[in-house]
Amino acid sequence: MDRVLFIIPPHIQFNDFVSPAYNARVVQKKGRAFGSVLTDMPLGVLSISSYIKQHADVEVKLLDFNVVLNKIQEFKSDSFGSLFYDVLSDWINYSPTVIGISTLFTSAYDNTLQLGQTCRKLFPLAIITAGGGVPTNLYREIFSSCKSFDALCFGEGELPFLDLLKAQDKKQSLMSNPAWITREKSQTNATFLPAFIENLDEIPFCDYDICNPDDYSLNPAITAYAGGANEKLQNFHVMTSRGCTHRCCFCSSHTVHGRSMRYFSLSRVEEDLRCLRDRYGAKTIVFQDDHFMADKRRAKQVIQFVRALKMNTVFQNGLALYALDRDMLELLKDAGVNQLLLSVESGSERVLRHIMHKPLDLSIVKRVANDCRELGIYTNTNILIGLPGETKKDIEDAIAFLKTIPCNWYMIFCATPLVGSEMYEICKQKGYLNDNHIGADYKHACISTEDFTATEIQQSAYDMNIELNFVNNWDFKLGHYEAALKGFENVIRAKDDHAIAYFYAARCLEKTGDLDKAHQYMQTAQREGATPFWKKYFDRFGLFDENCLTT
């Protein structure tokens, strides 16, 4: 019997974990601030596990280092490499015959290399593989940097992994299967082909048994937003479809799942949701579909399933705004959806149409935001700046438009070229990428063009955050002080020296009559606001010149 060990590398780089940047969420461990590590249930691995268990005699275990980092109360390792070695040493007795490292994000690139090296030292006889968006698109870089991998999976992993496990000669199987990339094949003109399961119903119910659902309460869809669901609810992640028909320049999901839509049948979706509720006590379903609204009638039926089962609904990825008409929004609200992520991406019509290739009319954004506010649906809005071809005027135009949209909160990100995306290829061809682009995340700008530097974009993103979320906060402007306070205090929990958040939280508390706490917060705002970092914002927006508490 084969023994498979799936490993999820940390989604954060070591330096960002031990020395978080000024614009990063943090957690306190033994009085020291560390970068916050958010967790998603690794649905790709859970799906592969259920599929190979159905068709092969195999034992499967899961080790998620994002969970490991969250559970560690006192971090003493001097590198992730030493942490990997210490933790994986405890798996010697399991002695995996096949190891699969699942790498979805480029921020985990270096961690993947270190994990491959560590696994080769500790498990010299194992077949060591990696899969996901990063290995699919960066296989040459991985092979040139690390000699530990036997093969990398191209695209989805169910069929290639099963083929590997059933083979008598595993090394020969890796060489002959076009969905496996080996070092030898990567050095030739070999063609790699993804192996898709067209009928998704052939994949059994996800193998949630290999993970502890409680370990995934720090999911960004649950905890990152002020309007989010209660993190104590039992959260379970699902995907009811694969693929996306859109061609947004910044996305690379098509390199793994393709551009055509594939669906689980409605009866299968209903069966899976019922099983999550009855077997695992699920109370909140977190949908991770790349394009949930591709079939609007089907989407309505899935939402009605969740409503009938009396579970909460969270959409981790933004829903296509053009599909969010009033009827759809009312159905979502009736199904317990209290927050939505609006993937607006830019407030510039030119950037949306001619750079992002995103099919979105800005008039729809206004209508959706107004409808959500009327219905009591909390809206977080994704904005991306710093794309190749974008200008400083585009960013100014975007800010002017976004100020008119009554969203609850804006999430401002620096454009990061995902490997496999059109944006990545443009940046490579034009020499726009900084040396640290592999491993960058959406908080670290790495694109410098004729119009701006990476440093300028990173600063502009933070400036936009201050201007849109605090100075021009719509909940505050409309007198919805309790809602505004939740947003500001959510920031304070993530960054306890945020002088601007303390300032506006104090003003909310003053309006709601909690004067003691208002004075306490304002004193903190004044103390932190005297530091050079925060003083420039207080001066720019004339905050202490306003009629506010002073002691």
Give the pLDDT confidence of 253-302 residue by residue, as tens digits.
999 999 999 999 999 999 999 999 999 999 999 999 999 999 999 999 99
Confidence of residue 216 (pLDDT cuts 50, 70, 90): confident
Q: What is the structure's pLDDT at 451?
A: 95
Instruction: Determine, yes or no, domain membership for 390.
Output: yes
| pLDDT tens-digit series, residues 332-341 | 999 889 899 9
Confidence of residue 189 (pLDDT cuts 50, 70, 90): confident
Tell whether 456 and 481 lie within a shared domain: no
Instruction: Determine, yes or no, domain membership for 204.
Output: no
Tell whether 356 and 273 lie within a shared domain: yes
Q: What is the structure's pLDDT at 443?
A: 80
Tell whether 359 and 455 lie within a shared domain: yes
**Is residue 412 helix, strand or coil?**
strand
Q: Which of 451, 472, 493 is the last residue of a domain?
A: 472
Give the count of domains, the chain.
3
Instruction: Determine, yes or no, domain membership for 146.
Output: yes
Q: What is the structure's pLDDT at 219?
A: 56
CATH number for the domain harbouring residue 366: 3.80.30.20
| pLDDT tens-digit series, residues 243-257 | 999 899 988 899 999
Q: What is the structure's pLDDT at 476?
A: 97
Q: Is the dihedral of CA 345, 346, 352, 355 positive or negative?
A: negative
Mean pLDDT over the full length of the chain: 92
Instruction: Determine, yes or no, domain membership for 206.
Output: no
**Is residue 369 helix, strand or coil?**
helix
pTM over 0.85: yes
Question: What CA–CA distance (Å, rounded) separates 94 from 99?
Answer: 12
Contact (CB, 8 A) for 79 and 65: no
Q: What is the structure's pLDDT at 546?
A: 53
Tell whether 448 and 483 lie within a shared domain: no
Q: What is the structure's pLDDT at 551?
A: 41
pLDDT at 231 over 50: no
Q: What is the structure's pLDDT at 549?
A: 47
Tell whether 6 and 119 lie within a shared domain: yes
User: Under 8 Å CB-to-CB from 550, ≥6 apart: which residues?
Assistant: 522, 526
Tell whether 421 and 499 lie within a shared domain: no
Tell whether 294 and 357 lie within a shared domain: yes
Tell whether 467 and 485 lie within a shared domain: no
CATH number for the domain harbouring residue 23: 3.40.50.2300
| pLDDT tens-digit series, residues 422-448 | 999 999 999 999 876 676 677 889 999
Tell whether 235 and 166 lie within a shared domain: no
Please give the structure tokens belonging to residue 202: 């052939």
Average pLDDT over residues 184-189: 91
Q: Which of 457, 472, 487 is the last residue of a domain?
A: 472
Instruction: Determine, yes or no, domain membership for 491.
Output: yes
Tell whether 373 and 427 lie within a shared domain: yes
Instruction: Determine, yes or no, domain membership for 197.
Output: no
Instruction: Determine, yes or no, domain membership for 132.
Output: yes
pLDDT at 519 over 60: yes
Q: What is the structure's pLDDT at 24?
A: 77
Tell whether 351 and 405 lie within a shared domain: yes
286 φ/ψ angles, rounded to the nearest 5 degrees: -105, 105
pLDDT at 157 over 90: yes
Q: What is the structure's pLDDT at 548?
A: 53
Tell whether 431 and 344 lie within a shared domain: yes
Residue 540's domain comprises 477-551
Q: Which of 472, 495, 523 is the last residue of a domain?
A: 472
Instruction: Determine, yes or no, domain membership for 364.
Output: yes
